[in-house]
Amino acid sequence: MLLEGKVAIVTGASRGIGFAVAKAYACEGARVAVCGSREETAQKAVQELQKLCPGAQLLPVGVDVSDGEAIRTMVARVMERWGKIDILVNNAGITGAKPIFDMTDEDFESMIDINLTGPFKCTREVAKVMKQTGGCIINTSSLVGTYASRMQTAYVASKFGINGLTKACARELGPYGIRVNAVAPGVVQTDMVAQSVDGQMLAALKGMTPLGRVAQPDELAGAYVYLASDAASFTTGAILAVDGGIVM
């Protein structure tokens, strides 16, 4: 198993891409802190994961990534349970579309708080303990971190920011043996897409994708396993596109 003995934190793991990553990590032998924005959603995800990966060691954690105190508690709970953190996946995120003229300060700030400041705070708090042992951090970026879409000022800014955060942290944390990379998904069939992309737009996105379809969440998980594994021991600062070729 590729992640035997490793301890991982995955944020936004209650569903979608994060759930698929938590499942893949657990099946590869990692002990996984399965984080949802609330304790109940994290517990529900753990119950589902126990059925899919019998015997997996899982810790449900409710943590709103816009809450710095909750992030410190998350790190403390994982350290208390398992005594180390090898892998952090900053995956929790939200999206939204609005013309810039209608986008309020609050709209913009809440997106940045969750999608960019949250990963910064999680990285800082985890790196404080990870620097003793080394480890890896994987951020979830997006195709819009390279190719800006219309009506998504805040979301696009947050994902360009994630790419910058990834590279800045890779440079600063490399000397501590901490690798920092990002996965940039294309269009993935999750609740986020179901709630924000209509049928016409979805058809257009499929048409722009060389593979001619959207991804299922499990198709993203392999990239996160690879980046967390020893197979990626010399990879840092990379933004790995898993997007069916939509951006190239």
Contact 85, 78 (CB under 8 A): yes
DSSP state of 188: B
| Catalytic positions, written as ranges | 155
CB-wise, 1 or 52, nearer to ligand NAD? 52
Where are any strands of DSSP class E within the chain? 7-10, 31-36, 58-62, 87-90, 135-140, 178-185, 239-242
> 177-202 in b/e burial notation, b at 16+ Cβ within 10 A?
ebbbbbbbbbbbbbebbeeebeeeee
Q: How far is the CB of 45 from ligand NAD (least distance, A)?
A: 8
Q: How far is the CB of 233 from ligand NAD (least distance, A)?
A: 25
**Which of these, 142, 168, 140, lies nearest to 246 by C-alpha position?**
142
Six-digit token string for 51: 């059925």
Q: How far is the CB of 84 from ligand NAD (least distance, A)?
A: 23
CB-wise, 66 or 163, nearer to ligand NAD? 66
Q: How far is the CB of 53 from ligand NAD (least distance, A)?
A: 18
CB-wise, 19 or 136, nearer to ligand NAD? 19
CB-wise, 175 or 203, nearer to ligand NAD? 203
Q: Which residues bind ligand NAD (CB under 6 A)?
A: 11-12, 14-18, 36-37, 41, 64-66, 91-95, 114, 140, 142, 185, 187-188, 190-193
